[in-house]
Structure 1
Amino acid sequence: MEETLFKSESSQSRAEIAAYLRTVADRLDADGEVTLSAGEQSQTLAVPERPVFEVKVERETSSSGSAELSLELELEWDEGASDTDASLDVS
Structure 2
Amino acid sequence: MPEEVLFKSESDQSRADIAMLLRRVADNLEDGEAITLKAGSESVTLDPPARPTFEVKAEREGPTDAPGELSVEFELEWDETDGEDGSGGQLEIE
Decide: shared fold, TM above 0.5.
Answer: yes
Match of 1:87 among 59, 65, 90: 90
Deviation at 1:13, TM superposition (A): 0.5
| Change beyond 3 A, Cα 1:47–1:81 | closer
Q: Secondary structure at the match of 1:20?
A: helix
In the other structure, the counterpart of 2:44 is: 43
Q: AA paired with 1:20?
A: L
- Contact 1:32/1:49 (8 A) holds in 2: no
Unaligned runs of 5+ in 2: none
- Contact 2:32/2:50 (8 A) holds in 1: no
Q: Secondary structure at the match of 2:72?
A: strand
Q: How does 1:5-20 map to 2 (within 5 A)?
A: 5-20=6-21
In the other structure, the counterpart of 2:73 is: 72
- Contact 2:56/2:73 (8 A) holds in 1: yes
TM-score by length of 1: 0.90
Aligned length: 91
In the other structure, the counterpart of 1:31 is: 32
TM-score by length of 2: 0.87
Higher strand share: 1
Percent identical pairs in the alignment equals: 53
Unaligned runs of 5+ in 1: none
RMSD, aligned α-carbons: 1.8
Query: CA separation in 2, counterparts of 1:18 and 1:63?
Result: 30
- Contact 1:32/1:48 (8 A) holds in 2: no
